[in-house]
Amino acid sequence: MLTSCSNGLIGSTNATEQPIESNFSEVIISEQASESRYIPTQSSQSNSLVQTGINVQANSSISVPADLASFNIKVKSRKKTVTEARENTAIYVKKVVAAIKKINISEDDIQTTSFNIYPETRWIEKKDDFGVYSESTTIAYSVENSINVTVRNLDNLGKVIDEVTIAGEDQIQINSINFSVSNINSYEKKLRETAAITAKNKAQTYVESLGLKLGNLSYISEISSPVTTPNYAPRMEMAMSADAQYTPSTFIPGNIEISISIQANFEISR
């Protein structure tokens, strides 16, 4: 409703100097002029979605023999100068890579993952005219080169480890060996089929126990794609020296679990 006012209703001698500004950005609804309120527009739809039917989650997994192994080799040198440390590390990296290639490991399966140079410091007590104090002093430099190696023929794994430890002497560290499966894709179809059947059977059990009937599938969502659960061998610390006597390394890869998870929604009918 629009109401016009005369100058007499304003009741002020200088009313013409104070123009009335109309604001139509809001809708005013009131029963009395003294109790005007702004009523915001509200959507007829609720912000929360009301789920219908029955939601279920299902998991499918399979255990298969591992056929792939990977591990990390860290070659580290500690010398008084950066040049000496870098040079010594480079020499042993070259020896280690040559030893790996000797066992028919492809260059594509040998990859540098990190290279670091950092100083090693120590707090040393010093004295001057003002008294005794401690100062951080660089005493050496360390150079690290980390390499990831993938072994696709597990019969060669023990030999690779042995050759690497001999070549690297006491300059290397071998971290945990990770066993996995190379051809995961070949198991995907069976995993998805089993997960779908499991989801339907689970929903059927819930619905029938309530005296109802399972309706059509509303939607299905893959929560996690087929993934493997890694299997790790114990960590190997510092390697043996080249002239040490040793027994060939033996590894038992075991089985790897591949799993997939899905979520499904079914309608319910009476």
**Residue 94 or residue 249, greater confidence:** 94
Angstrom CA distances, 55 to 26, 108, 194, 217, 220, stand at: 44, 45, 17, 10, 9
What would the mean pLDDT of 118-143 be, rounded to a whole number? 87
pLDDT above 50 (res 263)? yes
Is the same domain home to 115 and 13? no
Mean pLDDT of the chain: 79
Could you report the per-residue pLDDT of 165-217, keeping only the tens digit for each? 999 998 999 988 899 998 888 899 999 999 999 999 999 999 999 999 999 99
Contact residues for 199 (Cβ-Cβ < 8 A; gap 6+): 56, 57, 58, 220, 262, 263, 264
- E runs forming strands in the chain: 28-29, 37-38, 54-65, 68-79, 110-128, 131-151, 172-174, 178-180, 213-229, 231-232, 236-238, 255-269
Residue 203 lies in a domain: no
Q: What pLDDT score does 28 carry?
A: 36
- Give the tokens for residue 194: 């089993």
235 within some domain: no
Residue 244 counted as domain residue? no
73: tokens are 């080799």
Which residues lie below 8 Å from residue 223, measured CB to CB, with a gap of 6+?
57, 261, 262, 263
Give the end of a domain, one of 182, 204, 223: 182
Domain membership of residue 268 (yes or no) is: no
Taking every pair of Cα atoms in the chain, the longest distance, rounded to a whole number of angstroms, is 115
Q: Which residues of 176-201 are buried (b: 16+ CB within 10 A; e: fewer)?
A: ebbbbbeebeebeeebbebbbebbbe
Q: Do 193 and 264 meet the contact criterion of CB atoms below 8 Å apart?
A: no
CA–CA separation, 69 and 251 (whole Å):
10
Domain count of the chain? 2
Task: Please give the model's pTM, rounded to 2 decimal places.
Answer: 0.63
In this model, does residue 72 exceed pLDDT 50? yes
Per the domain annotation, does 239 fall within a domain? no
Reported as a single tens digit per residue, the pLDDT across 80-92 is 999 999 999 999 9
Domain extent, residue 29, equals: 7-38
DSSP string across 211-225: T-EEEEEEEEEEEEE
Q: How many Cα atoms occupy the beta-carbon half-sphere of 70 within 13 Å?
A: 13
Could you tell me which residue, 145 or 17, shows the higher pLDDT?
Answer: 145
Q: What is the pLDDT of residue 250?
A: 85
Please state, for a pLDDT cut of 70, what percent of the chain lies above it.
74
191 located within any domain: no
69 in Cβ contact with 231 (< 8 Å): no
Q: Flag whether 46 is in a domain.
A: no
The reply to whether 25 and 123 lie within a common domain is no
Asked if 149 and 73 touch (Cβ cutoff 8 Å), the reply is yes
The per-residue pLDDT for range 227-261, each reduced to its tens digit, is: 776 666 655 544 444 445 667 888 888 888 999 99
What are the pLDDT digits (tens) for 3-32?
Answer: 444 444 344 444 444 444 444 334 333 333
Q: Residue 114 belongs to a domain with what CATH number?
A: 3.30.70.2970
26 and 97 in a common domain:
no
The continuous run of DSSP H or E covering 162 comes out as helix 157-168
Q: Which of 180, 155, 169, 170 is nearest to 71 (CA)?
A: 180
Contact 256, 231 (CB under 8 A): yes
